[in-house]
Structure 1
Amino acid sequence: MEPPGSRPPPDDIDLVVAEKAWHRLVPRVEAVVRRAARAAGMQGTIVLAGDRAVQDLNSRHRGRNKPTNVLTYQHPAPEAILALGVIRAEAAGQGRRPAHHLAHLVVHAALHLQGQDHHHPGQARRMEMTESRILRGIGVPNPWKRS
């Protein structure tokens, strides 16, 4: 019998690695995603997909025929779908580690699923501050701080 507290807390995240190249881009990708999701209080499904799958969803649901970094859906259940190529390119363009950028976007998606948004400057600033606080707690540099 294990002593109390020796097991990790239950995980309310279903993680699907639909695009296997995620394993090459981010070592221990499942651990990175789960840690960021737990830190942000996310529940639901996270799908690590390729650009084509995200482009298809973005076209069908948002009328934008291009991939985007992350899509979130509330119904029928909370879900975040992340695009490998977009995230790889963004990380490179920003001079960030892919694992850090992925963690940031998982936190970003979790906040969207909790009702936060960034359409107005005040909302955006609050969301950025929340993201940076959560990321700091898991050892990820502030994505909003300019070097």
Structure 2
Amino acid sequence: MTEVEHAPEGVLIDIAVEAGDWPDETALIKLAQTAIAAALKGADLEVLEKAEVSLLFTNDEGIQKLNHQWRDKDKPTNVLSFPGNDPQDDVYGPLLGDIVFAYETVAKEAEELGIEFNNHLTHLTVHGLLHLFDYDHQEKDEAELMESLETAILAGLGIDDPYAGRPLEADGD
């Protein structure tokens, strides 16, 4: 596990690669730092100094077990988020939570969507982080808000709208 502090927001990022053909940890750290900083700023999220988020990079088998255990869905998914501490006065931390990614699903989706793997992983990192801050997409209005935030955050990073040309998907995870 690698622990890195992203100085501007003071968020500690723990990264563990469990399984899958992921890029090296240096590339994953850089991607995570960029995505998390953009999401915190773009969604105007407040965190305690030295708040921590953990990212686990695994494979379909690993995420399927978690998805079955925690969501009663016995299938792999692209990303899962597990929120940490409840906010106090809309300030989150010290434990923001855990985000888990499945390599095969992320790679397959990127290929099917015709987008770069790193752009898709950046999107899923932003998406997963927003879930840690109580954003959801169970209802249509929640999905619209979450998707518009993701689109704006990614645009700030020079990444095209991941939802362009696709119907709104409430309960999309």
TM-score by length of 2: 0.73
| Residues 52-67 of structure 1 aligned to structure 2 (within 5 Å) | 52-67=61-76
Matched-pair contact (CA < 8 Å) for 2:20–2:102: no
Q: How many equivalent residue pairs?
A: 140
Which one has the bigger strand percentage? 2
| Residues 1-147 of structure 1 aligned to structure 2 (within 5 Å) | 8-9=7-8, 10-19=10-19, 21-23=21-23, 28-41=27-40, 43-75=52-84, 77=95, 78-146=97-165
Match of 1:37, SS state, is helix
Task: Mark the runs of 5 or more structure 2 residues left unpaired by the alignment.
Answer: 1-5, 46-51, 86-94, 167-173
| Paired amino acid for 1:67 | P
Q: Equivalents in 1 of 2:79, 2:100: separation in Å?
A: 6
TM-score by length of 1: 0.84
- The Cα RMSD (Å) is 2.4
| Paired amino acid for 1:132 | T
Task: Mark the runs of 5 or more structure 1 residues left unpaired by the alignment.
Answer: 1-6
% identical equivalent positions: 31
